[in-house]
Amino acid sequence: MTIVVIVAGLVAFFDLGLRFADFIAGGDITATTAIWLSVCFLLSFTALSITVRWVLLNWGRLTRSVEARVDARYKALIEESKDYFFIVQQGEVIYASPSAASAYGPGNRDLSDVLAKLRPQDRALLEAAVHDPARATSAFDVHFEDEDDDTKVIHQLTVNDQTANPSVEGVIVTGRDVTPSRQLEKQLADMALKDELTKLPNRWALNNWMAEALARSERTNSVTALLLIDLDGFKGVNDTLGHPFGDRLLRSVAGRLAGVCRRNEGLARLGGDEFAIVVENLEDDQQALKLAHRVIEDIRAPITIDGHIVAISATVGIAKSTESSSADELFQHADIALYDAKARGRSEVAVFRTEMATLVESQTRLVQEIDTGLRDGDFHLVFQPLVDLIDRQTVAFESLLRWNSPSMGEISPMTFIPVAERTGAILPLGRWVFEESCRLLASWTEADNGRPLKMSINVSVLQLDDPDFLGEVMRIMERTGVNPNQIQIEVTESVLADDPQLIAGRLQTLRTLGIKVAIDDFGTGYSSMAQLRLFPVDVIKIDQGFVSGLDPDDPQGPSLLKALIDMARAMDAEVVAEGVETDEQRELLARLGVDVGQGYLFSQPLAPGDVPLYLAAGRLLTRSNVHSWSSVLEEWANEGES
């Protein structure tokens, strides 16, 4: 090859010399220039010839080196990869990547050696895929048989048919260890269906559970029940002792509930302070009811956490599959029963009845009407005087909320106030009542030559629980010009038991502002004397039930009333008697030490426009047929003329 290149070069050089001779003869270039160009060409040609010869001589070595480097990289990729593969040819593994040894053991082996590592169902799956790769259209998981449940190993396999490829002539099975990712998926699935705080199933799990239970009930003609459990007063624990303490309390309650449940009774936490129990195959109608009472008794027992003794209670609503066709309906019915139970107080149990749904529908409509009535100005206030029993001077007014709905007519406060409290509508209602009461009080004070009248305003526990309530009170008094010592807040005795520490703190803050605090309907709640001493109280209002049946000739009546008055005096509180209707009652109450009276003896509730007339009249209304102080003044004027 080298001789051929040299001969070709000499021929080309000889031809070039002849051409240069022609150029010189023609006078186009000089002889020196021609010689120099010839030497340069000869040197270039020689270098090129040597280079070509070297490349031709070393081509094989160069290609082998490149191939070796490529092979090394490919080998490193195969050996270091977490994925593995093996080639199966007629049931025999003819090649296995080094990483396959960690899963199936080293060395060539029959396919049976690989299959032996897998669960029986996965052996059949892989064997079928190897013998008929067209059926294995996607990756699939296999589990190793010799691993326990806690540390099971899962591999994902892909089968690729390369029998027609002359370089392979077999089926390539590629695999990878997906155990960590599958464990993560399981953890995420558990988190999605499990309550993180108590480790109980959550609402989503409960929905699935109820659907499955109802399906089994339908197949077996059995009955499934759902118990919804709501803790009473739990919010107060969070507010007073903190959320970490509340979380520990919830875990303790979850433990107690788990101890109550039997094998066919499944427990879940719905969120907050709500739990649920699903009971399958009810033995009789009383089983769910008995379980509910066991729940209430177990939760009622005091719980000690970090030296704090906490006593809470629970309310339970029950629904059964006999009245429910779906999981959603079962849950809705149990929720309606719980709503009914909570309306009756603490530690109550209610079983869903069909008429409850009708009641809830009517109350839902009532809630909508409350919102509309507040927006359209359908609510109004009336005011009942509070009178000194000795000198019969009016010392204050109590503002009372009334509602005349255009679509439903006159609605009693006993009907709409509890609904407004349960739904939260009491908050905007309460703000309106407070501001309107203060606005009118300011105008009456100014019209009455600045005489320091007082206003008693009823306040719901939801208002006291509202973080912005105190700020609203201060802003309203600033806007209306009312002095704090002209305002008296009324709360019922039963409210004090709902969240004692929180309520006591809020009431004390109000007293710090100069506002007085009164306990309404005293004697009808279940607060003990020791509990009442915890609250900052200025006024005790004795319920009218103790006054209406008062008979001076009955020694038992006055003695019971005297005990209540003595209890109020022990708290250094002013005493107000409600429901005073006769002068005999007024005299007896005054002798027993009651300071102030309120009732029809002094006046019916007055419209705002009648209050200034009442104050101007300066005498008591004792005629039941008189409905307006304007008519009283007119009657007095006529009497004066005659």
Looking at the structure, do residues 98 and 154 belong to the same domain, yes or no?
A: yes
For the cut 90, the answer to whether the pLDDT of residue 516 exceeds it is: yes
Express each pLDDT in 365-377 by its tens digit: 888 888 888 888 8
Same domain, 233 and 331: yes
Domain membership flag for residue 77: no
Q: Ramachandran region of residue 338, left (φ > 0), alpha (ψ -120 to 50) or beta?
A: alpha
Domain range for 620 is: 379-399+450-641
Res. 10 pLDDT band, cuts 50 70 90: low
- Residue ending a domain, choose from 134, 153, 184: 184
Q: Check whether residue 177 and residue 219 sit in a common domain.
A: no
10 Å Cβ neighbour count for 304?
Answer: 9
Q: What is the pLDDT of residue 365?
A: 81
- Given 132, 151, 184, which residue is the final one in a domain? 184
- Return the CATH number at 541: 3.20.20.450
Looking at the structure, tell me whether residues 131 and 228 fall in a common domain. Answer: no
Same domain, 326 and 468: no
Higher pLDDT, 313 or 39: 313
- Give the pLDDT score at 425: 87
Give the Cα-Cα-Cα angle 50, 52, 53 (nearest 5 degrees): 65
Pairing of strands 92-96, 574-578: unpaired
pLDDT, averaged across the chain:
78
Average pLDDT score over residue span 601-619: 85
Residue 67 lies in a domain: no
Cα(598)–Cα(394) distance, rounded to whole angstroms?
Answer: 10
Classify residue 17: in a domain, yes or no. no
pLDDT exceeds 50 at position 629: no
Neighbours of 316 (CB within 10 A): 28
- For position 277, which CATH number holds? 3.30.70.270
Lowest mean pLDDT among 64-73, 207-216, 271-280, 562-571: 64-73
Is it the case that residue 622 has pLDDT exceeding 50? no
Q: Are residues 178 and 203 located together in one domain of the fold? A: no
Cite the DSSP H helix spans in 81-177.
101-104, 111-115, 120-131
Average pLDDT over residues 190-208: 82
By CB neighbour count within 10 A (0-12 exposed, 13-18 middle, 19+ buried), where does 491 fall?
buried
**Buried-exposed string 411-445: b where 16+ CB fall within 10 A, e elsewhere:** beeeebbebbbebebbbebbbebbbbbbbbbbebb
The counts of H helices and E strands in the chain are 24, 22
In this structure, are 580 and 495 located in the same domain?
A: yes
Whether residue 476 lies inside any domain: the answer is yes
184, 212, 232: which is the final residue of a domain?
184
Q: What pLDDT was estimated at residue 482?
A: 92
Q: Report the C-alpha gap between 235 and 365 in whole angstroms.
A: 28
3 state DSSP class of 443? helix
pLDDT at 493: 64
Does pLDDT of 79 surpass 70? no
641 vs 75 pLDDT, higher one: 75
Is 590 a member of any domain? Answer: yes
pLDDT category at 637 given cuts 50, 70, 90 is very low
- Strand (E) positions, 48-153? 84-89, 92-96, 109-110, 140-143
- Same domain for 130 and 251: no
| pLDDT reported for residue 504 | 79
Higher pLDDT, 387 or 15: 387
- Does pLDDT of 258 surpass 70? yes
Q: What is the DSSP secondary structure assignment for residue 626, as one 8-state letter?
A: -
Rg (CA), the chain: 47
pLDDT at 69 over 50: yes
Q: State whether 319 and 387 are in the same domain.
A: no
Question: How many whole angstroms separate alpha carbon 224 and alpha carbon 214?
Answer: 7
pLDDT at 162 over 50: yes
* pLDDT at residue 624 greater than cutoff 50: no
The better pLDDT of the pair 451, 289 is held by 289
Q: Is residue 327 part of a domain?
A: yes
Reading the block at residue 619, the tokens are: 């005498």
Confidence of residue 98 (pLDDT cuts 50, 70, 90): confident
Q: Please indicate, yes or no, if residue 107 is contained in any of the structural domains.
A: yes
Kind and range of the H or E run holding 258: helix 243-260
- List the structure tokens of 150: 């806690």
Among the residue ranges 305-319, 533-547, 579-593, 619-633, the one predicted with the least confidence is 619-633
Q: Determine the average pLDDT of the residues in 384-403.
A: 92
Same domain, 109 and 231: no
Would you list the DSSP string of 309-368? EE--EEEEEEEEGGG-SSHHHHHHHHHHHHHHHHHT-SS-EEE--HHHHHHHHHHHHHHH
Domain membership of residue 35 (yes or no) is no
H or E element that contains 7: helix 2-25
Of 352-361, 440-449, 520-529, give the lowest mean pLDDT range: 520-529
Q: Is 92 exposed, middle or buried (0-12, 13-18, 19+ CB in 10 A)?
A: middle
Between 394 and 635, where is the model more confident? 394
Per-residue pLDDT, 384: 94
Q: Could you give the residue ranges of the DSSP H alpha helices within 170-226? A: 179-193, 203-220
pLDDT at residue number 641: 46
| CA neighbor of 222 nearest in space, from 287, 269, 275, 267 | 287
Residues 507 and 578 in one domain: yes
Q: Are 314 and 227 in contact (CB under 8 A)?
A: no
pLDDT in tens, 270-316: 888 999 999 988 888 788 899 999 999 999 888 888 877 788 889 99
Count how many domains the chain has: 3
pLDDT greater than 80 at residue 620? no
Sheet with strand 274-279: strands edge to edge: 265-271, 274-279, 225-232, 313-320, 349-351
State yes or no: pLDDT of 639 exceeds 90. Answer: no
pLDDT over 70 percentage in the chain: 73
Q: What would the 3-class secondary structure string for 471-500 be? A: HHHHHHHHHHCCCHHHEEEEEEHHHHCCCH
Same domain, 344 and 392: no
Nearest CA-CA partner of 383 in 450, 321, 439, 323: 439
Checking if the pLDDT of 362 tops 80, the result is: no
